[in-house]
Structure 1
Amino acid sequence: MRLMISAVSAAALVLVATPAQAAAPKDPVKAVRAVLTPGKGVKFTDVTDIVTRDDGGVTVQRRTGSLMFGRGKIAASDITATWEKGAFGDSHNNGRTIRIGTVVYSSGGEYKGKLPEGTRWFKQAKNGMTGDSNGWFSQVVNVAEPATLAALVKAGKRSGATYSGTITFGRLAKVSPWFKASLPIRWDKTVLTYKLTVGGNGLPQKLATSFPATGIWDSPSWEGRTFETETRYKGWGGKSSIKAPAANLVTTKTL
């Protein structure tokens, strides 16, 4: 009798545990759309490695940033990029970029030492890159864009809470304003590999992407190199306020 009770109990535990283990996360696209409301946002961190065939990977850049949402879209971003000491012979500068709508304000980075005295920010009303030139070495995929997220989910294969797959630069350019503003020059046939992990609520927690460096630069010096970026997200739907820099610190001229 005791053996029979034990067997029945074990079977009951299996029946209870199996649905929880096999349950799919909530629809990520619906989950993200639900938090895309004015005044809300999300924070993120990026780490980018350059991996070579012979030397393995080395971290070159880290970023911290926040997004502010509008109604159903990204309204603004504020990103700070920090280069690892010795990366590319210290030829790149740390920088911060604020993007509001299509207007971009840049401080440091490629504009370090190139602005008139007394100013700190360079303003571009058109064709400004998200993250400026530092953005070439960063996360070029933004899962806070519903159309972009939908493309990843559709093309990916789900295993538990993770979607893995590939997508071309050309496809990303069709659905993602963020991508086009990050890589305005690229080879659209380049294939990007991704792995997206979401929480039980469907909201993205981590995104890892990789693509060959020659997808941007068709140069022998970049052959055999791969950009690998991991992004982590926190605080989906939290309060967010991103404002333009003070007008007296802004210029549209360079030295």
Structure 2
Amino acid sequence: MKKIAILMAAGATVLVSVAPVQAATQSAADPVRALQAKLKPGRGVYFVEKVSWSDGTDAREYGGNKGVFQFGRKGLSGYDITMEGGQEPERVIGIGKTVYRSGGVLSIVLKDKKKPWYKTTTGGGYPGGAAQIINAAEPKTLAALLRKGKRDKNSVTGTITVGDLKKVSPWVARIRNQDNGVKVGYTLWLTSGGLVSRLRSTWTTTENSETDAVTVDSRYTKWGAKVSIKAPAPSKVTTKLF
């Protein structure tokens, strides 16, 4: 199967493809206030994601992600995501500004097989790969999506640039500035209580003269559940790639 080119923190050239609208029952609650009510230390939200791509003539499912966000006093304090789109699954744990990665290409690169976790202090946030680029657990991000999008009963559809996301979202702060003009199409769905139940984002990537449209479809459950994300055991961690 053709290998997909995806937006990384280092950046890739992307354009826009807007996701379709899906309507259901009206959500009367204020989504931002509903989210803020769940943002308590030691709590979080679980999610599963499907990733697909299309080159304009062929559309295929690329893989899936699953994970959890943990909240702190100042917003998102950590995450644990497993991405299964590559030849080998990759797991990424972010705690504050520290990120631990295991699997994927690291399973080949890391020489010390007794230390499968690679540690960096690059600031956390969006881990690249096929992870969801829009973070629905950030109140300012959610407010921007609601403001820029068009509401249709319980769904909101619109587009937002990476640059505008950076103004409100720590999640994407490390994406390179030359990608600030990148447009991401999105549709989010809300429960009757105003919480985000689903978020689908779509963009296109261009690499080596090949263009693919990438879609990440996220489903959220257990808003406010007890969550405890922990770093890997120090004996399993290295800071050396080679």
- Per the shorter chain, which TM-score range? 0.7 to 0.9
Question: Does residue 93 in structure 1 map to residue 110 in structure 2?
Answer: no
Residues paired across the two proteins, number: 218
| Aligned partner letter, 1:99 | G
SS at match of 1:113: helix
Distance 1:61 1:129, change over 3 A: farther
Using the TM superposition, give the Cα deviation of residue 72 of structure 1 relative to its aligned residue in structure 2, in angstroms: 4.3
More strand by share: 2
* Bigger shift: residues 109-118 or 245-254: 109-118
Find runs of 4+ consecutive structure 1 residues off by over 6 angstroms.
none
More helix by share: 1
Distance 1:53 1:117, change over 3 A: closer
Alignment of 1:116-131 (within 5 A): 116-127=112-123, 130-131=126-127
1:79 aligned partner: 81
1:220 aligned partner: 209
1:232 aligned partner: 219
- Consecutive unaligned residues of structure 1, counting only runs of 5 or more, are 1-20, 84-89
| Aligned partner letter, 2:168 | V
Using the TM superposition, give the Cα deviation of residue 110 of structure 1 relative to its aligned residue in structure 2, in angstroms: 2.7
| Aligned partner letter, 2:78 | A
Which of residues 151, 157, 160 is equivalent to 1:164? 157
Using the TM superposition, give the Cα deviation of residue 41 of structure 1 relative to its aligned residue in structure 2, in angstroms: 0.3
Alignment of 1:23-42 (within 5 A): 24-42=27-45
In 1, distance between residues paired with 2:51 and 2:177?
19
In 1, distance between residues paired with 2:210 and 2:218?
27
Which of residues 189, 192, 203 is equivalent to 1:200? 192
TM-score by length of 1: 0.80
Using the TM superposition, give the Cα deviation of residue 61 of structure 1 relative to its aligned residue in structure 2, in angstroms: 2.2
8 Å contact kept, 1:193–1:210 = yes
State the structure with more CA Rg. Answer: 1
1:105 aligned partner: 100
In 1, distance between residues paired with 2:148 and 2:28?
17
In 2, distance between residues paired with 1:186 and 1:208?
24
Which of residues 199, 203, 206 is equivalent to 1:211? 203
TM-score by length of 2: 0.84
- Consecutive unaligned residues of structure 2, counting only runs of 5 or more, are 1-23
Question: Does residue 174 in structure 1 map to residue 177 in structure 2?
Answer: no
In 2, distance between residues paired with 1:65 and 1:24?
26
| Aligned partner letter, 2:137 | A
In 2, distance between residues paired with 1:166 and 1:208?
11
Using the TM superposition, give the Cα deviation of residue 243 of structure 1 relative to its aligned residue in structure 2, in angstroms: 0.6
In 2, distance between residues paired with 1:128 and 1:207?
21
Using the TM superposition, give the Cα deviation of residue 27 of structure 1 relative to its aligned residue in structure 2, in angstroms: 0.9
In 1, distance between residues paired with 2:25 and 2:220?
24
Deviations 1:111-162 (A, max 9, x none): 113222411211001255643xxx3323100110111111001111111111
1:86 aligned partner: none
